């Protein structure tokens, strides 16, 4: 073999081969292409229908006494006729936006921009309120979190930790998988973007797959299937353990706080969901290893000599831990400590993130320059549209009006047991992930519905809306369910049937565990009420 051929040969242990930009881009299927083509005309058609043709009786016969305080102020200001008109506009814009978001006919951020200006031009929201959503408290928390996450990526401490943990504890196939649970939990506490976690971990677990003989396409084996799909699960479930685990979690909390006027603390979410997320990860590990992707004896042994040595070499390239890395760890541990104790000191998660980001960006003292910060502004614009939609809901009270009309139509009275509502709402939220590709969009749709149901039946908003929010991160069943799912599908280490079987089983288990927690752990924490469950 010539030196030229050796230089050009593909090296499965080279981590640079698994960078996101080097993964092949998956072509859209026929169904996805048709959805993209049909999206715009369908959005326009439904907008025209609900804005000008279809008249819903419950929007023309509004009892102002049933409205929320913010909606009642708008009703008193504009009068019943214009208030009903605004609700019709709101419903038309909402349905059109949902169609565009689902079909991905245009970029999500562009849909959000259209949504914002539509709410302004139709008079549903004044300009000041609509445009102000880009400065929403949660938006600032998102931005500051990306600053802090960039600090971990730029200094290399996140990659160093992941490599060190695998080298230190990944002694055999089983401990490798368990190591990735620990790595994902730690990264979830510090990095609020699931896609960023996937980008950090992808080269590492792909090298581990290569060491154990897994190849893409026809060279697939159960080690490769398991390590990619388990990491997809851990990336998302890890995010569910922390209020700051993703922007969708933060959006859900902001909607709940807006409806109740009371705070949902970082420590409240942590106490409720961190144990549940750990339990789900361990269940996923057992099911993958024992039932869905059991390893043959030869798959438990490294197939490439010197594989772990290559990881050690990659770790050695990082050199000794730098002063900047140490500072980044100190800053983030301090932030996590303040977040976890917010109930006691009263400083909001946003204010804590602000302080951390300022320290990280300070000249000479800090770690980052602004150009080092990777803020995905297209996601920020998309989120701003979602928050503006929430402001429109608050101004029109459309979710509560729709919920009341729905239950009145079915003849369901005020005596409906709590557990039926709990099962319905949490089930709809978790299984909606099979059809929607945005966690933020699901939060925007189903959290207001949960709030409206709780208000209608006289239960606290927290008791229904927070357990529904806990179901946001279950987006690992199909490739289009989330950005990490789409990214990891490009590795070509598993089929649609592989991810559906494993993911759907975990989704069912997560729902059952959430129901069980509602009866036990959530009740103990004061989230669900006593004496009205099973």
Query: What proportion of the chain, given as a percentage, has pLDDT over 70?
Result: 92
Classify residue 429: in a domain, yes or no: no
Are 155 and 93 found together in one domain?
Answer: no
Give the pLDDT confidence score for residue 120 in this predicted structure: 94
Indicate if 52 and 97 belong to the same structural domain: yes
Q: What are the tens digits of pLDDT across the range 300-310?
A: 877 776 667 87
Q: Would the pLDDT of 399 be above 50?
A: yes
Same domain, 242 and 354: yes
Predicted local confidence at residue 46, as pLDDT? 95
**Claim to verify: residue 112 and residue 145 sit in the same structural domain:** no
- Separation of first and last alpha carbons in the chain: 71
Whole-number percent of the chain with pLDDT over 90: 30
Q: 73, 106, 132: which is the final residue of a domain?
A: 132
Residues 83 and 208 placed together within one structural domain of the fold: no
Q: Do the domain assignments include residue 396?
A: no
The answer as to whether 256 is a domain residue is: yes
Judge whether 58 lies within some domain.
yes
**Residues constituting the chain:** 534
The pLDDT of residue 532 is above 90: no
Whether 489 is covered by a domain: the verdict is no
Whether 206 is covered by a domain: the verdict is yes
- How many domains are there within the chain? 2
Residues 247 and 273 in one domain: yes
Lowest mean pLDDT among 28-32, 101-105, 128-132, 240-244: 28-32
User: Is the Cα torsion angle 510, 515, 520, 521 positive or negative in sign?
Assistant: positive
Q: Are residues 309 and 333 in the same domain?
A: yes
Q: What is the DSSP string of 169-215?
A: H--SHHHHHHHHHHHHHHHHHH---HHHHHHHHHHHHHHHHHHTT--
Domain membership flag for residue 379: no
**Residue 29: predicted pLDDT:** 66
Least Cα distance to 395 among 77, 57, 23, 153 occurs for 77
87 in the same domain as 50: yes
Backbone angles phi, psi at 533, to 5 degrees: -95, -135
pLDDT for residue 123: 92
Provide the mean pLDDT of the chain: 84
Residue ending a domain, among 132, 156, 189, is: 132
Could you give the CA distance from residue 235 to residue 197 in angstroms, rounded to a whole number?
7
Task: Tell whether the torsion through CA atoms of 457, 461, 467 and 469 is positive or negative.
Answer: positive
Q: Looking at the structure, do residues 121 and 159 belong to the same domain, yes or no?
A: no
Q: Which of 76, 106, 132 is the last residue of a domain?
A: 132
Cβ of 457: how many Cβ atoms within 10 Å? 19
Name the residue range of residue 84's domain. 28-132
Is 226 in the same domain as 155?
A: yes
Residue 210 shares a structural domain with residue 345: yes
Note the pLDDT tens digit of each residue in 212-228.
Answer: 888 877 778 899 899 99
Distances in Å between the alpha carbon of 148 and those of 111, 192, 248, 265, 358? 28, 9, 18, 20, 10
Of the candidates 420, 422, 430, 386, which has an alpha carbon nearest to the alpha carbon of residue 240? 430
> Does residue 430 form part of some domain?
no
Please check whether residues 222 and 121 belong to one and the same domain. no
- Where residue 155 falls among pLDDT bands split at 50, 70, 90? confident
């Amino acid at each position: 073999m010539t030196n030229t051929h050796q230089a050009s040969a593909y090296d499965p242990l080279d981590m640079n081969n698994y960078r996101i930009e080097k993964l092949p881009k998956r072509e859209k299927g026929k169904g996805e292409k048709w959805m993209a083509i049909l999206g715009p005309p369908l959005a326009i058609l439904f907008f025209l229908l609900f804005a000008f043709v279809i008249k819903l009786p419950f929007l023309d016969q509004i009892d102002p006494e049933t409205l929320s305080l913010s909606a009642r102020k708008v009703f008193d200001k504009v009068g019943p006729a214009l208030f009903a008109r605004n609700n019709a506009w709101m419903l038309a814009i909402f349905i059109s936006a949902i169609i565009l978001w689902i079909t991905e006919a245009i970029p999500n951020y562009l849909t959000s921009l259209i949504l914002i200006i539509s709410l302004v031009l139709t008079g549903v929201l004044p300009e000041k309120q609509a445009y102000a959503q880009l400065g929403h408290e949660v938006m600032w928390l998102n931005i500051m979190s990306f600053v802090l996450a960039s600090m971990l990526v730029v200094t290399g401490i996140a990659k160093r930790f992941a490599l060190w943990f695998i080298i230190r504890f990944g002694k055999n196939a089983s401990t490798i998988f368990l190591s990735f649970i620990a790595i994902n939990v730690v990264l979830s506490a510090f990095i609020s973007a699931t896609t960023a976690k996937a980008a950090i971990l992808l080269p590492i677990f792909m090298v581990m797959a290569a060491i154990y003989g897994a190849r893409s396409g026809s060279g697939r084996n159960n080690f490769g299937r398991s390590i990619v799909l388990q990491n997809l699960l851990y990336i998302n479930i890890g995010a569910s353990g922390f209020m700051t685990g993703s922007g969708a979690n933060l959006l859900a909390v902001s909607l709940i706080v807006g409806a109740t006027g009371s705070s949902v603390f970082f420590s409240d979410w942590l106490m409720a969901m961190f144990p549940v997320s750990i339990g789900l990860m361990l269940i996923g590990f057992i099911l993958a290893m024992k039932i869905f992707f059991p390893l043959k004896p030869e798959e438990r042994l490294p197939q490439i000599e010197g594989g772990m040595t290559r990881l050690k070499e990659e770790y050695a390239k990082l050199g000794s831990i730098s002063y900047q890395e140490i500072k980044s760890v100190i800053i983030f541990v301090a932030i996590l400590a303040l977040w976890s104790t917010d109930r006691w000191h009263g400083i909001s998660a946003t204010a804590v993130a602000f302080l951390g980001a300022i320290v990280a960006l300070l000249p000479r003292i800090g770690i980052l320059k602004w150009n080092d910060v990777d803020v995905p502004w297209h996601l920020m614009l998309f989120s701003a549209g979602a928050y503006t939609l929430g402001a429109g809901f608050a101004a029109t009270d459309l979710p509560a009006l729709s919920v009341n009309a729905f239950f009145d139509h079915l003849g369901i009275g005020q005596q409906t047991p709590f557990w039926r509502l709990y099962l319905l709402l949490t089930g709809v939220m978790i299984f909606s992930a099979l059809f929607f590709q945005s966690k933020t969009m699901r939060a925007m749709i189903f959290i207001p519905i949960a709030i409206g149901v709780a208000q209608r039946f006289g239960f606290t908003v927290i008791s229904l809306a927070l357990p529904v929010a806990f179901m946001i991160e279950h987006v690992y069943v199909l490739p289009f369910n989330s950005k990490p799912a789409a990214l990891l599908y490009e590795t070509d280490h598993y089929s649609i049937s592989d991810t559906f079987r494993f993911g759907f089983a975990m989704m069912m288990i997560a729902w059952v565990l959430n129901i069980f927690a509602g009866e036990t752990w959530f009740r103990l924490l004061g989230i669900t009420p006593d004496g009205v469950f099973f």
